[in-house]
Amino acid sequence: MRKTIYLLLFLVTLTGCNQETPMTHKEEIEQFRYKMNVEFSDLKTTPLKKKDFKKFKELAFFEIDASFKIEASFERTPDEPIFEMQTTTDRKPLYTQYGIATFTHSGKEHTLRVYQNQELILDPEYADHLFIPFNDLTNGAETYDGGRYIDVDIPKGEIIVIDFNKSYNPYCAYNDEYSCPIPPRENDLDLAIKAGVLAFKKH
């Protein structure tokens, strides 16, 4: 009997050791930033021009701000038409509005249209991928004047998590040879999003 109890205690302890401790929000954002810097530091994946790549050390970010991890109410908008999203070139990728996110920050209510790329959904890896391009009051000063992006997953309910600490620049912010979606005016926020990546200082 005593041996059985010891064995059970051992198994419980072993199971507890094998359980991964969930990352804190700070750790999650630090990992996100680390992956971005790895991408930009690799000649095979970097969007940087050669002269900027040679001097690149790391991207600059706002301080991590948990208040910009938003739990927004989400309204699915089915049967929206497919449309051509404007880009910085003649390229016009096909998107549809998947839903609308509504949240309150700094005492005001804000809305963002959430989009789905019609080409990406054909790839199983991106079947749940949604795209939020946006402008805010930091554009042209602290952040890129062409706006920023956030990637999110299709929510399972009526709440969608939008973490602006994970907002990133379009590749056009680093290299004008790229073609980048322009955030629709419906996603102009009357709010300074002091979270996520900062404007890139070119050399």
pLDDT for 2 equals: 43
Q: Is the pLDDT of residue 36 over 60?
A: yes
Percent of the chain with pLDDT over 90: 88
97 vs 114: CA distance, rounded Å: 6
> Which token pair is 111?
């809305």
CA-CA distance, 59 to 154, in Å (whole number)?
28
Mean pLDDT of the chain: 91
Task: Quote the pLDDT of residue 14.
Answer: 41
CB atoms inside a 10 Å sphere around CB 61 = 19
Tell me how far CA of residue 97 lies from CA of 75, 113, 115, 199, in angstroms. 11, 7, 4, 28
Q: Cα separations (Å) of 160 from 95, 192, 195?
A: 19, 20, 18
pLDDT tens-digit readout, 3-18: 443 343 443 444 444 4
Q: State pTM to two decimals.
A: 0.88
- Residue-level pLDDT at 203: 56
Q: Are 68 and 76 in contact (CB under 8 A)?
A: no
Residue range 45-104, pLDDT digits in tens: 999 999 999 999 999 999 999 999 999 999 999 999 999 999 999 999 999 999 999 999
Quick one: 189 exposed, middle or buried, by C-beta within 10 A (0-12, 13-18, 19+)? buried
b/e sequence 136-173, b meaning 16+ C-beta within 10 Å: bebbeeebbebbbbbebeebeeeebebbbbbbbbbbbb
